[in-house]
Amino acid sequence: MSDDPSTGPFSVTSIRNNDLVGAVERIDICVAELARSESADSGGSQIFDRARIDMYNQQIDEYMNYVVAQTGKVDVPHTYPTYYDIDYISNELNVDITNKAMRDLLRLYLQMMEQLSKSGSAGWSNGIQQHDYGRYVLIRDKIQAFLTDYVDVVTPVDMPEYTSYSDGTANEAQTVAEAGPLAVRAPQA
| Cα 182 from Cα 165, distance rounded (Å) | 15
CA atoms of 126 and 89, how far apart (whole Å): 23
pLDDT value of residue 177? 73
Other beta carbons less than 10 A from residue 95's beta carbon: 17
Residue 45: pLDDT band (50, 70, 90) is low
CA angle 1, 20, 125 (to 5 degrees): 120
- Nearest-angstrom CA–CA distance, 112 and 52: 18
Q: How far apart are the first and last CA of the chain?
A: 22
Q: What is the DSSP letter of 62?
A: H
CA–CA gap between residue 159 and residue 174 (Å, rounded): 27
Distance separating alpha carbons of residues 103 and 161, to the nearest angstrom: 18
182/93 Cα distance (integer angstroms):
10
More confident residue, 1 or 148: 148
What number is the average pLDDT over the span 113-132? Answer: 97
132-172 pLDDT tens trace: 999 999 999 999 999 999 998 887 655 554 444 454 444 55
Q: Bigger pLDDT: 170 or 36?
A: 36
**Tens of pLDDT, residues 96-107:** 898 889 999 999
* Neighbour count for residue 165 (Cβ, 10 Å): 8
Q: What is the pLDDT of residue 167?
A: 47
